[in-house]
Amino acid sequence: MRHRPCASPLAATVKLTLTAGIMETDTNANILVVDDDADTRELLREVLSDEGYRVNTSGSGEEATEIGQREFFDVIISDMRLGPSLNGLDVLRAYKAIQPESEVILITAFGSMETAIQAVKAGAFDYISKPFKIDEVLLQVQRALGNRKLLRENRNLKRQLGTQAQLSSLVGNSPKMLEIYKKIAMVADSRSTVLICGESGTGKELVAKAIHYNGPRAEQCYYAVNCGALTESLLETELFGHVRGSFTGAMVNKRGIFEEASGGTVFLDEVSEMSPSLQVKVLRTLEEQEVRRIGSNDVVKVDVRIIAASNRNLAECVEEGKFRQDLYYRLRVIEIDIPPLRERLDDVPLLVEHFLKKMAHDRELALSISPHALSVLMSSVYSWPGNVRELENALESAAALNRTGVIVPEDLPAKVRTETREVERPEDLYAELPSLDEVERRYMAHVLRVTGGNRVKTSEILGIDRRTLYRKAEKYKLLV
């Protein structure tokens, strides 16, 4: 004989007074009630629906498992004894396999220590004995939802903390970088899409993260997708998800990144590599804030901010017919252009200091660079095609080859050393018709290289005293 819950048969008559301080009802939560007793199912469905939850019910373990293949549930409430085949523990294990983020609450009239231990080990959130009180069930549901929210916040916090060191790689105080910082501050609170342009290695994703983590979505999800690294079909299922059976290998329902990141930000890197058909679907997502999983006719509303980036000129791609004009203008509501390293060589000392500190921390070894080696890195002849990423790699290589802790020119990659030697030709100091300040900066850097950073010799050659040398070196950000 089955035990009934200690509550009135009519859920509408149930009056509850919950413990103060419990989190507010999450009306977006999906709950599945699994019980082979129709009265219990209906009671829990009505009570939970009255609390604002979206509730589905199932009368068997088999049906509950099948439903889980096509629909996501935040909380599953299941009776332990469900019939001759699958029981509550089977439902628990099935959902932990297909929906590991779901919380499962088990209810039983035949409790034992062995059963409780099995439930906990299998991942049950809680284990309630019959006869139960309705307010006890509601309290556990709220606790389960609170636990899911806390886990999500912890993951987001870890993701955010994990990016802080990367955010600090956005280093520089040149006028062009200060302009980028200003734009980041101005657009962070906006919902507008942002298009970040720049060569490979300039730090486009760092700018995207800075926008996300300095805005109101900072505590929500941030997803980065390299559109050029995935095939068209894989990229489509990653972005939009799919339903079970929509293609070979689609064994379960899968939410796409646009759904997972709802409330947060999606960074589409190398967006120019996206196929025309996918461009249409992304445009619809931008305009309608909705997605449709592959193989499904159902529309899912989402709230995502999209930040896109490309190392190609998208305007030229539009002219060549390789990129949709309407998507281009929809992405380019706000545009941020990141200058290549060769156009902001004044930032090299700060970048070098940052990377050496980072490497010194990782290796637990103090690292520094000689003035001569720094001057080589700041040469205006080598173009740094790999930009900031190449500079970091050059320093990492130099540090690996160095045993003294002080990087000298000989430690630097041969390509950098070979090409920068050409700057020692006097005509190169003014070949590009630079300003007088730039000629002076280049000449001072040239003399510092020749003297190996010797301050006395440098002052003598330049015909200035040491105090003036320090003042000019500070002005031009040269190490002396």
Per-residue pLDDT, 176? 87
Phi, psi of 141 (to 5 degrees): -65, -45
Q: Does the pLDDT at position 99 exceed 50?
A: yes
Q: Which fold has domain 11-149?
A: Rossmann fold (3.40.50)
Categorize the per-residue pLDDT at 426 as very low, low, confident or very high, splitting at 50, 70 and 90. low
Give domain 168-339's CATH superfamily. Answer: P-loop containing nucleotide triphosphate hydrolases (3.40.50.300)
For the full predicted model, state whether its pTM sits above 0.75: no
pLDDT value of residue 359: 87
The residue whose two tokens read 């949709």 is 324
- What's residue 157's pLDDT? 53
Give percent above pLDDT 90 in the chain.
32
CB 20 within 8 A of CB 50: no
Instruction: Outline where DSSP puts E strands in 297-443.
Output: 300-301, 305-310, 334-337, 368-369, 406-407
pLDDT tens digits for 13-52? 233 333 333 344 455 688 999 998 888 889 999 999 888 8
Contacts of 372 (CB under 8 A, 6+ apart): 408, 409, 448, 449, 452, 453
Determine the CATH number of domain 343-475: 1.10.8.60
Tokens coding 212: 């996300």
Residue scoring higher pLDDT (8 or 54): 54
pLDDT of residue 380: 65
Tell me if domain 168-339 and domain 343-475 are identical in fold: no
Band (428; pLDDT cuts 50, 70, 90): low
pLDDT tens figures, 104-116: 998 877 655 666 6
Q: How far apart are CA 293 and CA 304, in angstroms?
A: 16
Categorise residue 210: left if φ over 0, alpha if ψ from -120 to 50, beta otherwise: alpha
Listed by start position, the domains of the chain span 11-149, 168-339, 343-475
Higher-scoring residue by pLDDT: 250, 297:
297
pLDDT exceeds 50 at position 327 = yes
pLDDT in the model for residue 154: 60
Q: What is the pLDDT of residues 382-415, one digit of tens each?
A: 889 999 999 999 999 998 887 778 888 888 998 8
